Amino acid sequence: MPTNMPSHVTSKHPLIAHKLSLLRDKNSSAKQSRELLEEIAYLLAYEAMQDLDLKEIGQMESPLAPYTGEAIKDKIGLVPVLRSGLSLVNGFLTMIPTARILHIGLYREQISLQPVEYYNKLPKEPNVDLCIVLDPMVATGGTSVETINILKDWGVKRIKFVCVCASKAGLEALLEAHPDVTIYTGVVDETLSKEGYIVPGFGDCGDRIYQTKN
């Protein structure tokens, strides 16, 4: 693994910028939003997994000649932060279908804006080498920080974090709390509203994709 990897990478891919512009549009339907998130996840997966280690799996045969086969060395766990993190899972599974899915449920309390854990389905002992946390949005950063705290307490040594949109304040909080975790973002927005939403962002991700807004 490269030793000079930055702790934060914002994608410069034009397709991500294009799809983010569509995702931000308030007129995008729930179906369109789900599809866009899955497509963005697919592209961010490429960014986040470009430094994975490989192992040789022996001699194999192409139609013309033998060759030495290679495969991903690490056992990878995808950790979607419920509920909106589920929207990024399929994009990552397209890239690495052998990944295990590990679920952690956190919500942000409306008054204090602090994270509250309500679900944890991690096995008793770590069964993966690398966890990739998936959360479409990092607003205040509290939920993201706590998710990584839970994984570290569980015993995972290597963690990456992937989000579609982060606020500058949330990103800074996450980097300060976990400087050893590489963070991959699609875009970083400057502002948070007084209610703790990213501005311009793309609204409440869970409400948009699951149509639960009153």
DSSP class per residue in 20-32: HHHHH-TT--HHH
pLDDT number for residue 111: 65
pLDDT number for residue 196: 83
Residues 6+ away with beta carbon under 8 Å from 20: 40, 164, 165, 186, 187, 202
Mean pLDDT of the chain: 91
pLDDT number for residue 130: 97
Structure tokens at 55: 């192992």
Per-residue pLDDT for 37 more than 50? yes
CA–CA separation, 105 vs 79, rounded Å?
Answer: 10
User: What values do phi and psi take at 25, rounded to 5?
Assistant: -60, 120
Per-residue pLDDT for 5 more than 60? no
CA–CA separation, 206 vs 214, rounded Å?
Answer: 12
| pLDDT band, residue 6 (cuts 50/70/90) | low
Per-residue pLDDT for 59 more than 50? yes
